Amino acid sequence: MLITNGKLIPWGSEYQVIPEGLGLLIRDGVIQKIAPQNELIKDYPDEEILDAGGQYVMPGNICAHTHFYGAFSRGLGIPGEPASTFTEILEKLWWNLDKALDEDGVRYSALVCLVDAIKHGTTTLIDHHASPNAIDGSLDIIAETINQAGLRASLCYEVTDRDGAEKSEQGLQENLRFIKRIQNRDPQDALLRAHFGLHASLTLSDETLSRAEELCPAGIGFHIHAAEGMADQVFSLETSGKRVVHRLDQFGILRPESILAHGVHLDQGEIERLAETQTWLTHQPRSNMNNAVGVAPIEDMLDAGMRVGMGNDGFSNTMWLEWKEAYLLHKLYHRDPRRMGGYTVTRIAVDNNAALVTELFDGLQVGQISEGAAADLIFVDYHPFTPLTGGNLPWHILFGFQESMVTATIVAGKPLMYQRQLLTLDESAIAARALEIATETWKRFEEIATQ
């Protein structure tokens, strides 16, 4: 198809805003040609035209760490006294909610997140799943929802020892089975990739980490939480005499394909080791604030040469809101308005996230508008009342753009939403069924939580 009548925000190496006049020729899921739209219409008269109507056309947002399985936590009451520490939050909420999920819960917690992503312009998601009473085939269920929605994603299962050796092994095998499925490169899975999922050092024995290293195929990265709370460091030091990153390094977890989430409590030695191994780390400021775990030294990490991206840890797929929280949080924490500038935020959330997904998809350029890049695009109905340029673009997004302004979402050249109408998912039907399933999930949660 042809995309016409749009003002382009291409991202890439040079931030710029291109006035109307250029069109995009989309074929086979990529941007095949960028040229004056009148020329494209003349040269390709039989192509379907998708009219941007004068809106901004830009790459879709990327979420580098999320949890679909946590969707049913919205509004959930937790029995007993409120959790006062991060460990208590895990024990009272997340480790009971994941046990309450059955196959329907896995499916619909994913579907409601995918509706949210499409509506708000997030086109790629890297998920970290847990459902200890529905492990086998759980990644296939989520993959089916991804393929139905038409989004781009990487999936994994969160291996942990907290539910016993049998379920730990099931988790290991679920990762391995799904990785093999993705490596078969079935055309239906063209938009899917896989990581080898692990929970965190504080719930993983040396034996399980060694088993994961043994099973994980070459070229596949791990996806694991690291030093999100101080308890992770305490456990690692008490059981191994090593800090978290160095313990994980011992088992081959650190590699250019791997993602460590959070890194709130890393020291300089750990930061330097992650930079040396070119292991990815993702920043989730909304979650860190919600869990009161602290503020990750993101700017120090970048200065050390670490590769840092941005996720949402299961919060809403409104990634511009995650940008805004990152921009403000570090200023407040350091009491310094110079910290975490707009260019730093976009370096993490745009440039680095794009590089991460491009590597994951075998070099297919994702996250920019250029010839040969993936046609993962959004239309944004933004009407600036001050000049908008490449130089001040980050601040317009931080202080002007809203997720409600996204009117179209396109992935691999396929429109998933146009003029705010979802085209691949039925939001009303999904929400109605999810409400029924969430109600049953909450009942099981309460039974588990009060045992």
Tell which of 330, 360, 390 closes a domain. Answer: 360
Beta bridge partners of 342: none
* DSSP annotation of 305: T
Percent of the chain whose pLDDT exceeds 70? 100
Q: Are residues 120 and 260 in the same domain?
A: yes
The rounded distance, in Å, linking the Cα atoms of 378 and 8 is 10
Pick the closest to residue 41 from 4, 81, 96, 75 (CA basis). 4
pLDDT attached to residue 132 = 98
Whether residue 435 lies inside any domain: the answer is: no
**pLDDT of res. 44:** 97
| Domain presence at residue 9 | yes
My answer on whether 261 and 343 are in the same domain is yes
Residue 365 phi, psi dihedral angles, 5° rounding: -65, 120
Give pLDDT tens digits for 391-450: 999 999 999 999 999 999 999 999 999 999 999 999 999 999 999 999 999 999 999 999
For 60-151, where are the E strands, in sequence order? 61-66, 122-127
Q: What is the mean pLDDT of the chain?
A: 97
Q: What's the sign of the alpha-carbon dihedral 42, 48, 51, 52? A: negative
Structure tokens at 398: 């931080």
Tell me, what's the pLDDT at 178? 98
Is 449 among the domain residues? no
Residues 162 and 208 in one domain: yes
The answer to whether residues 324 and 353 belong to one domain is: yes
Residues 121, 39: one domain?
no
Tell me how crowded residue 59 is: count the other CB atoms within 10 A of its CB: 27
Tokens (6 digits) for 355? 């590089």
Give CB contacts under 8 A, 24+ apart, made by 169-176: 169/211, 170/135, 170/136, 171/132, 171/135, 171/197, 172/208, 172/211, 172/212, 172/215, 174/135, 174/136, 174/137, 174/138, 174/139, 175/139, 175/215, 175/216, 176/215, 176/216, 176/217
| pLDDT score for 183 | 96
195/256 same-domain check? yes
Tell me: the pLDDT tens digits for 108-166? 999 999 999 999 999 999 999 999 999 999 999 999 999 999 999 999 999 999 999 99
230 and 350 part of one domain? yes
Residue 86 has a pLDDT of 96
- How sure is the predictor about 194, in pLDDT bands with cuts at 50, 70 and 90? very high
Measure Cα distances from 419 to 367, 413, 416 in Å. 22, 16, 10
For the chain, the helix, strand and coil percentages under 3-state DSSP, each to the nearest 5: 45, 20, 35
Question: Which residues in 189-290 belong to E strands, given as ranges?
Answer: 192-194, 196-200, 222-226, 259-262, 280-283
Interval 12-60: pLDDT, tens: 999 999 999 999 999 999 999 999 999 999 999 999 999 999 999 999 9
Domain count, the chain: 2
- Asked, for residue 390, whether it belongs to a domain, the answer is yes
Please report whether residue 356 resides in a domain. yes
Does residue 436 fall inside a structural domain? no
**Residue 157 and residue 16 in one domain:** no
Any domain includes 431: no
Could you report the per-residue pLDDT of 315-370, keeping only the tens digit for each?
Answer: 999 999 999 999 999 999 999 999 999 999 999 999 999 999 999 999 999 999 99
Residue 409: alpha-carbon gap to chain centroid: 16
Cα 377 to Cα 410: distance, rounded to the nearest angstrom: 5
* CB within 8 Å of 149: residues ≥ 6 apart: 111, 114, 115, 117, 118, 416, 424, 425
Enclosing domain of residue 149: 61-360
Same domain? 157 vs 107: yes
Token digits of residue 226 = 């690291």
Q: Of 62, 68, 112, 79, which is closest to residue 432 (Cα–Cα)? A: 112
Place of tokens 């109905």: 381
Residues 6+ apart with CB under 8 A from 443: none
Among residues 337, 360, 383, which one ends one of the domains?
360
In this structure, is residue 448 part of a structural domain? Answer: no
Per-residue pLDDT tens digits for 373-394: 999 999 999 999 999 999 999 9
Residue type, 398: L
Same domain, 287 and 144: yes
Say what angle helices 103-119 and 138-149 make with each other, to 10 degrees. Answer: 30
Q: Are residues 234 and 88 in the same domain?
A: yes
For residue 199, the model assigns a pLDDT of 98
According to the model, what pLDDT value does residue 226 have?
A: 98
| 2-4 sheet: strands from edge to edge | 30-36, 22-27, 2-4, 49-51
C-alpha separations of 166 from 163, 422, 437 in Å: 8, 41, 27
Residue 47: strand, helix, or coil: coil
Q: d(Cα 190, Cα 194) in Å, to the nearest integer? A: 12
What is the arithmetic mean of pLDDT over 88-101?
97
Please report which confidence band the pLDDT of residue 299 belongs to, taking 50, 70 and 90 as the band edges.
very high
Residue 224: partners with Cβ closer than 8 Å, 6 or more residues away: 197, 198, 199, 200, 201, 248, 253, 258, 259, 260, 261
The confidence score (pLDDT) of residue 291 equals 97
CATH number at residue 54: 2.30.40.10
Determine the Cα–Cα distance for residues 152 and 191; give it in Å rounded to an integer.
5
Percent of the chain with pLDDT over 90: 99
Is the domain of 35 the same as that of 114?
A: no
Pair 317, 116: CB distance under 8 Å = yes
Q: What is the C-alpha to C-alpha distance for residues 207 and 135, in angstroms, rounded to an integer?
A: 20
* Burial environment of residue 237 by CB neighbours within 10 A (0 to 12, 13 to 18, 19 or more): middle
Cβ-proximal residues to 67 (8 Å cutoff; 6+ apart), any chain = 127, 128, 129, 130, 313, 314
Question: In this structure, what CATH number is given to the domain that contains residue 286?
Answer: 3.20.20.140
